[in-house]
Amino acid sequence: MSIKRFSAAFLASVAAVVGIWAGFFPLSFHEFFPFPGWGWVSRLGPYNEHLVRDYGLSNLALLIFTVWVFRKPTTESLKVLGGGWLVYSSFHFLWHMFHLAAFPIWSRIGAVFSLALILVFSILPMIPERKKA
């Protein structure tokens, strides 16, 4: 499997977990994401069912597109996939970087690492192929 298809599989996995959890179980997502006892979302403000569901269902929309590209990868579709994820994940990453004070140190490290990982996997599908000699 190429790194570009692996990136799509990774991004699809993230979108599926977050999308199903936040979209269909928003209170649980708000209180327990990423693991019980950590409460990353609940540390950022009061519960808002509409906001959490919208976030989850937006991830499910990304999941549909990501799975489609994974199944039928072309140079163009991989670039569009990476671009879409990059727009989404870069703004998500930046927002959280300005709100790290709400977290203890290990949660700060986990948030920065996990959000940066999604950024990296968003960029990989857009890297041009090397010309073969």
Q: How far apart are the first and last CA of the chain?
A: 22
Per-residue pLDDT tens over the stretch 9-34: 999 999 999 999 999 999 999 999 99
Q: Any idea what the Cα angle at residue 100 is, between residues 22 and 18, rounded to 5°?
A: 15
Task: Tell me the C-alpha distance between 128 and 3, whole Å.
Answer: 12
> Global pTM?
0.92
Residues with Cβ within 8 Å of residue 44, at least 6 apart in sequence: 99, 102
Per-residue pLDDT tens over the stretch 28-85: 999 999 999 999 999 999 999 999 999 999 999 999 999 999 999 999 999 999 999 9
Helix-strand-coil percent breakdown of the chain, rounded to 5?
75, 0, 25
The token pair at 47 is 């519960």
Whether the per-residue pLDDT at 1 is higher than 90: the answer is no
- Which of 17, 46, 16 minimizes the C-alpha distance to 30? 46
